Amino acid sequence: MLDYIRKISWYILSNKKRYALIVLFLLIANVLDIIPPQLIGRTIDLINNGELTKEITRNILIIFAAVIVLAYIVTYWWAYLLFEGAIKIESIIRSRLMRKFLLLSPSFYEKSKTGDLMAKATNDLKTVNMATGFGIITLLDSTTFLLTIILVMGFTISWQLTFFALLPLPLLAIIEQRLGKMINKRHKSSQEAFGVMNDAVLEVVEGVRLTRSYVQEDAENRRFHSLTENYLNKFMKVEKLDAFFQPLTIIVVSSSIAISFGYGSVLVNNGLITVGELITFNVYLNMLIWPMFALGMLFNIMERGNASYDRIQNVLDEADVLNTSGEMSVKETNFNFNEVTFKYPTGNRNSLRNITLELNKGETLGIVGKTGSGKSTFIKQLLKIYPEGTGELIIDGVNISSLDRKKLREKLGYVSQENILFSRTVRENIMFGKPDATEEEMMEAVRLSAFDEDLKRMPEGLDTLVGEKGMSLSGGQKQRISIARSLIRQPDILILDDALSAVDARTEQRIINHIKNNRQGKTTIIITHRLSAVHHADKIIVLENGSIVESGTHKQLSDGEGWYSEQNDYFITGG
């Protein structure tokens, strides 16, 4: 439990004033809380001795009322300050997490489950909030209250009685300490199960159409049910431990009360304390039930918080971030690949082998080859998405490792093979490429990407909302919006990764012609499975197993004997 406090101490230390005030208010509240039992005991003794006058009664009632009002005010304040602090730490950590998510490398995402990351950003953070708010209040409240009451019982009534009555307490602490460790472990595994379940929810929702078309609803249901069941079991394991605390507290406090009455009556008989004092003492003992109970919950909450905090911290500590090093910016756009070889961090063989290639500013490069031959990988090296491989990749005479990733990206317009659209309007999706684009630039991008015809048929034109991931659009429409998004930036280097695969041959030619005319003097890289898209390229390379096996212009290659001419003949003769 103290572990958790240590972990969030950075936050408490940076909010010293807040927490000092909380402690101060708590102490005042505690002192106020011990006044009523004192009043009760004194009144009883006054009645016993027949000394209770009207005036004294009135004073007692006034003090009573004042104490209640004051206690209300200070309690309001510490609770307010504390919960505000808790929600703040939650949002601070969440922002850190989001910032980290944006920095983490693709390999990190390949090995983590989205559902689990979401669980961390929501559920685990809530647990941290709980531990920091509710947890700390209970810790401060129960310990200071416990101490105050013990001191008051000792000083105002009897140390002997206090000592014996509290004998059963340490037992509770020892058991709680033990259970705390178990809770931590079980909570971690319960949260992991939650993450897996979360991921399954995502998959079910995203894959709902696939599931339906393959009539796999029942199988999916069963799979999901077993995941929910698994989470439920693990969650119940935590709850079982939790439930263990409550009866335990009652047993311990009841034995304290029994001892205090037994031993207390002896003390009263011997005239060491009065009846009123014994009653006050027992009221105090009863007041101990709450802090004891709270301490039980506290161990639970803090251990859960501790476990969740670790899960989040693991992401924050993840070293697998994008390589952002390098400060040089790109001026011209001449590329030089020199024996570049690359293996994915998670891969087991080279996806690029000894790639040597030169591409000058203004040239168009076509990349073709079988599926899985390394075309997209080639581009990802250029984009600095993955760690660098061996060999040299020189842009404008500067090694890519010394280039600033952001500055490099600013030069690029990249249409990836997976079309990713946001659930926003068409306009917003295109403007994502250039947030300050004018209406003319916008319409030009739409025209170049041959999206103008489609746009006329859309109910609200550019302001038509695109469904979750662009569901209401056809594949070809999505591709063309993605192309428009990259063209609107007028990038120095345009990269189309299989970006025309879902459009018909005529539309493809239209777009290619537009690009050819519009991008004179600028570098363009086109990856395609349809050779017609690269006929005009200055240079075409054919990849196979990560190596360049052919290169040249369309004319040279189609006159040759290799894969390219084979494909070309196949296309012309129809196989």
Give me 505's structure tokens. 């041959």
Which CB, 117 or 238, lies closer to ligand ATP?
A: 117
Give, as ranges, the residues between 214 and 253 that touch ligand ATP (CB under 6 A): none
**HSE value, Cβ hemisphere, 13 Å, CA-based, for 562:** 20
The reply on whether position 554 binds ligand ATP by CB under 6 A is no
- Tokens 């004192």 locate to 38
> To the nearest whole angstrom, how small is the minimum distance from the Cβ of residue 320 to ligand ATP?
13
Backbone angles phi, psi at 315, to 5 degrees: -70, -45
The reply on whether position 373 binds ligand ATP by CB under 6 A is yes
Which CB, 444 or 498, lies closer to ligand ATP?
A: 498
Give, as ranges, the residues between 92 and 151 that touch ligand ATP (CB under 6 A): 110
From the list 344, 432, 451, 563, which residue makes contact with ligand ATP (rule: CB under 6 A)? Answer: 344
Which CB, 280 or 351, lies closer to ligand ATP?
A: 351
The reply on whether position 475 binds ligand ATP by CB under 6 A is no
> To the nearest whole angstrom, how small is the minimum distance from the Cβ of residue 417 to Mg ion?
5
Give, as ranges, the residues between 345 and 364 that touch ligand ATP (CB under 6 A): 346-347, 351
> To the nearest whole angstrom, how small is the minimum distance from the Cβ of residue 197 to Mg ion?
32
Q: What is the arrangement of strands in the sheet containing 523-527, beginning at the earlier edge strand?
A: 412-415, 493-497, 523-527, 364-369, 539-544, 547-552
> To the nearest whole angstrom, how small is the minimum distance from the Cβ of residue 384 to ligand ATP?
15
The reply on whether position 411 binds ligand ATP by CB under 6 A is no
> To the nearest whole angstrom, how small is the minimum distance from the Cβ of residue 376 to Mg ion?
3
> To the nearest whole angstrom, how small is the minimum distance from the Cβ of residue 213 to ligand ATP?
23
C-alpha span between 196 and 116 (Å, rounded): 6
Query: Using CA of residue 275, residue 281, residue 284, residue 288, what is the dihedral sign?
Result: negative
Per-residue binding letters, 98-137, with Mg ion (x by CB under 5 A): ----------------------------------------
Instruction: Write out the DSSP string of 63-83.
Output: HHHHHHHHHHHHHHHHHHHHH
Per-residue binding letters, 407-426, with Mg ion (x by CB under 5 A): ----------x---------
Backbone angles phi, psi at 384, to 5 degrees: 60, 40
From the list 75, 123, 323, 376, which residue makes contact with Mg ion (rule: CB under 5 A)? Answer: 376
The reply on whether position 374 binds ligand ATP by CB under 6 A is yes
- Tokens 């309001």 locate to 76
**Is residue 299 a contact partner of residue 179, using CB atoms and an 8 Å limit?**
yes
- Tokens 């009653």 locate to 279
Find how far residue 126's CA is from the centre of its chain: 11
The reply on whether position 372 binds ligand ATP by CB under 6 A is yes
C-alpha span between 448 and 480 (Å, rounded): 9
The reply on whether position 186 binds ligand ATP by CB under 6 A is no
Instruction: Report which secondary-structure segment, H or E, holds 250.
Output: helix 217-269
Backbone angles phi, psi at 472, to 5 degrees: -80, 0
Which CB, 417 or 532, lies closer to Mg ion?
A: 417
C-alpha span between 108 and 345 (Å, rounded): 10
> To the nearest whole angstrom, how small is the minimum distance from the Cβ of residue 423 to Mg ion?
25
- Which does residue 551 touch among ligand ATP, Mg ion, none (CB within 5 to 8 A, set by kind)? none
From the list 53, 213, 270, 371, which residue makes contact with ligand ATP (rule: CB under 6 A)? Answer: 371
The interaxial angle of helices 16-48 and 136-152, nearest 10 deg, is 40
- Tokens 């011209």 locate to 332
Q: Which residues bind ligand ATP (CB under 6 A)?
A: 110, 344, 346-347, 351, 369, 371-377, 417, 498
* Chain residues that interact with Mg ion, rule: CB under 5 A: 376, 417
